[in-house]
Amino acid sequence: YLKISKLALAFAIIHSKPPGKSSKEYTEYLAKAVSEQDFGWKWKVEVLEAEVLRLRQELLLTRISPRFCLENRKQDTSAETLLGQESINPTSYSSQLEDSGCDVCNDSAFDSLGIASDFHLSEHDVNTSKHWLERVPLLSLCHSSREQSATAPVHFLQRLLEIRNLSEGGILQADFSELENDSFTICKSVSQLLDGLTVFYNSPKFPAPSFLTEGVRVLISLITDTKLSNHVLKKCFKKMEEFKKNLIKIILRSRSVNRFQALHSVSETLGLLGRNNILRNSLISLLLSEIRQFAEQLLQAHQVQSVYDITQYENIFFLCMILEQLLQNETEDSNISSSDHAGEEKIKFLKNLDQIILYLSDEFPLFSLYLWRVSVLLNSGQMQ
């Protein structure tokens, strides 16, 4: 039946083609017309789905805190949100445009994106209701469609954090148990945010768009907030795991010449994600696995004197630095128990590690040193 249908369609196209056009040209024209029509319908569906999600977000916020939503309706919704962050100054990025990206030793590089320095947003004191409700809002929506798709969830999650801050200060009453009743909205919003961050980390540009720094800030605030993190991680844990894996892939696979500055930003985001106890354990496991596999591949290439991937060798140091930082933070906090990473991945990593270090130490001394430092942290919990 399918073959007969295709044959009938082919004859119909041949018989109906206009003069001066070949059958192939007319077929391509029809295919293009149909695809454009499909694209138009898909775009309309996406617009409607986005509007439905926005309405669900508004409804969820109203259920959590009716007074907050009532106050916000009195204000200009295009203005800046009520989180107490500073406005971003685009001129602060001008120096980054002339940078070759080869300097990865500057600890303030990521700070120039405005993320690390503003990490403790949730720790700001709340003084009075008037102070919060008179603030002018953030995030004018960006013009490109992919930025708009990412700024929408950022705006919603910001308002959720605002309610959290205001309720913590005793200014508003809020019922966060409503998050349990609408898992779709919170999960969809976080997923859109993570997808948007992944897209821009895959194709970084400087100066960094404001929504990117804002998105990371909101994400970190969500997973470190004692009241909201459980709700978010419970519903979005798989998506968070996928996001961490994507960031690790971005680091390992990046091959552009001026990649180091962008990879430093990705590394800092992974380090910030590791501040959450649940995410930390799984992130350590992922890093141990990637570094172990690369060490084994490098050893094999060294033994048979074959060519190894020098770009991946350079990129692997970002993962080594993140892993060392996470392990150091863990040893400094006596309240944190190392459970997940101390299991199978730790055993695999430490197996034959001394032999690997011995064979690689002459040819790859820096990488061997990092392997040794990580092994010390895993074995003793202290740097020596």
Please tell me the predicted confidence (pLDDT) of residue 332: 66
Amino acid (1-letter code) at residue 356: I
Nearest to 265 by CA among 142, 131, 93: 93
Tell me which of 41-45, 63-67, 252-256 is least confident.
41-45
Amino acid (1-letter code) at residue 178: E
Digit-coded pLDDT (tens) for 122-178: 444 333 333 333 333 333 333 345 566 678 889 999 999 999 888 888 888 888 888
Question: What stretches of the chain show up as alpha helix (H) in DSSP?
Answer: 2-16, 23-64, 66-73, 94-97, 129-133, 145-168, 178-181, 183-202, 210-224, 229-253, 260-273, 277-303, 310-332, 344-350, 353-360, 365-380
Digit-coded pLDDT (tens) for 355-370: 999 999 999 999 999 9
| pLDDT mean over 305-312 | 89
Q: At what angle do helices 23-64 and 183-202 cross, to 10 degrees?
A: 130
| pLDDT mean over 232-237 | 87
Residue 266: which pLDDT band, with cuts at 50, 70 and 90? very high
Whether the CB-CB separation of 187 and 239 falls below 8 Å is answered with: yes
User: What does the mean pLDDT of the chain come to?
Assistant: 77
* Upstream peptide bond of 209 is cis (omega within 30 degrees of 0): no
Radius of gyration (C-alpha) of the chain in whole angstroms: 26
Pairwise CA distance, residues 99 & 58, whole Å: 42
- How far apart, in Å, do the first and last CA atoms of the chain sit? 74
Pairwise CA distance, residues 382 & 384, whole Å: 6
**Backbone φ/ψ region at 131: left (φ over 0), alpha (ψ -120 to 50), beta:** alpha
For the four alpha carbons of 167, 169, 170 and 171, in that order, the dihedral sign comes to negative
